[in-house]
Amino acid sequence: MIPVKGVAGQRIAVLGLGRSGLAAARALRDGGAEVVAWDDNPAARATAEGEGFATADLTRAGAFDQIAALIVSPGIPHLYPAPNPVVMAALRAGVPVDNDIGLFFRSFATEEWHSFDMLPQVVAVTGSNGKSTTSALIHHILSHAQRPAQLAGNIGRGVLDLDPAADGDVIVLELSSYQTDLARALTPDVAVFTNLSPDHLDRHAGLGGYFAAKRRLFAEGGPDRAVIGVDEPEGAYLAGQMAEGPTDDRVIRVSVAAKLTGPGWQVFARKGFLSEYRKGRQVASIDLREVAGLPGAHNHQNACCAYAVARTLGLAPRVIEAALHSYPGLPHRSQIVAQAGGVTYVNDSKATNVDSAVQGLRAFSNIRWICGGLQKEGGLEALNAASGNVAKAYVIGREAAQFALQLTCETEICTDMATAVARAHAEAQPGDTVLLAPAAASFDQYDNFEKRGEAFAAEVAKVTAG
């Protein structure tokens, strides 16, 4: 655990008592704070009370008297589409509002670091798609190279649940826009921006607000080095803001759309080959086509970002290449769950928005596509443009008929996962891929995308058992 600094003797309120909220409460208590906790869910309050935390309704009048700060869990809106009443009460009372990420960055470094031979470093990864894979891949590469590393944030452990840093430790954090938007301290050593596509637009009042939340990771403290995907205008803009000039190698530009040229530091992938260029000259190349855990151009972008980070941390290209080949992939991200009768079954349940589903559609051929769910803003036009590899779509979700009407490929309304998998299996031919890439949220039928992916894998196991 990382005890929070600078809170001894203070009364700190914590709103939201899920994984990150409880971890924050524990870390605050370890730092000497008096914690007052609240969650609308009685079961969550009971769990906190069972750990000895006092709970109090923070919506009541005078709740913020004598409160020094409010720590808010990521899922709770603090501004758009409307601020949570507790957050607004804190702001009106002049009480600072922060989250566990802000607490982590102000508390991670300790006096013990003065005795270390190699200072610990923090790598923080944000973007719309690929954050989890990029973060897990960086952690995997470091572990393969026998570098001490911990993975946390939006993946793995809560940031304040991490162990205190060891000599040379590297902390890899996946950070969502919900986490970067509110944190009062953001000071990673290396910051990564994978890409940007429309998502969470209601939470950030549009694409500009969403990008602004991501940009804070680079603007609030300023990382020593920035790895930035430049295939979208926002990434190119961010790289331009961070660099002092064309030769500034504190910015590493990443692309899977074009060969990058110029005197700076670039990492790009074309036709399945990753290339690293510095000062206009190629210094390394890796064939990604046989890396089973990273299929498709979107995963090649993740590989480029992870490679760039590993290079900034001093790892040799041959070490990184070996680690890429041993990477097993993450559950629910282009995960092969079965191969039977010449048909491959792929769980990409994490493809919760149109852009991420498009990447999955481009990664495979002869696709039997299972899609649908709680549709997000923006429409499905991009899916139609990328559906050339789709033999047929099997649509699930409570609004499956409406979802199917927006698709131009052949569709069948299945509504539930069992029917969709059974129909796709029955019609699949050798060489086909049955792909779950929903392009929608899961909440109309499942608690989260993990549960949806598990349901897909379970149904695949049933139909392939014989």
Q: Could you write out the DSSP letters of every residue in 289-336?
A: TT-TTS-HHHHHHHHHHHHHHHHHTT--HHHHHHHHHT----TTSSEE
- Which residues are within 8 A (CB) of 409 and not within 5 positions of it... i.e. 6 or more apart? 369, 384, 387, 390, 392, 393
Q: 5 among the known binding-site residues? A: no
CA 141, CA 62: separation in Å to the nearest integer? 51
DSSP for residue 461: H
Q: 129 among the known binding-site residues? A: yes
Q: 350 among the known binding-site residues? A: no
Query: Which strand (E) or helix (H) includes residue 180?
Result: helix 177-182
CA 452, CA 37: separation in Å to the nearest integer? 31
User: Locate tokens 């992916």: which residue?
Assistant: 453
Let me know how long the chain is. 466
Q: Measuring CA to CA, how many Å separate 326 from each of 84, 87, 144, 322?
A: 44, 45, 9, 7
What is the SS3 string spanning 371-409? ECCECCCCCCHHHHHCHHHEEEEEEECCCHHHHHHCCCC
Residue 268 structure tokens: 């790009």
Q: Write down the H helix ranges in 31-130.
A: 42-50, 85-92, 100-107
Our CA dihedral for 385, 389, 391, 396, rounded to 10 degrees, sits at: -60
Q: 127 among the known binding-site residues? A: yes
CA 186, CA 341: separation in Å to the nearest integer? 50
At residue 97's C-alpha, the angle toward residues 183 and 30, to 5°, is 80
CA 377, CA 225: separation in Å to the nearest integer? 34
Query: Which strand (E) or helix (H) includes residue 421?
Result: helix 417-427
Minimal CA–CA distance to 436: which of 355, 339, 336, 340? 336
Question: What residues form the annotated binding site for ATP?
Answer: 127-133
Binding site: residue ranges? 127-133
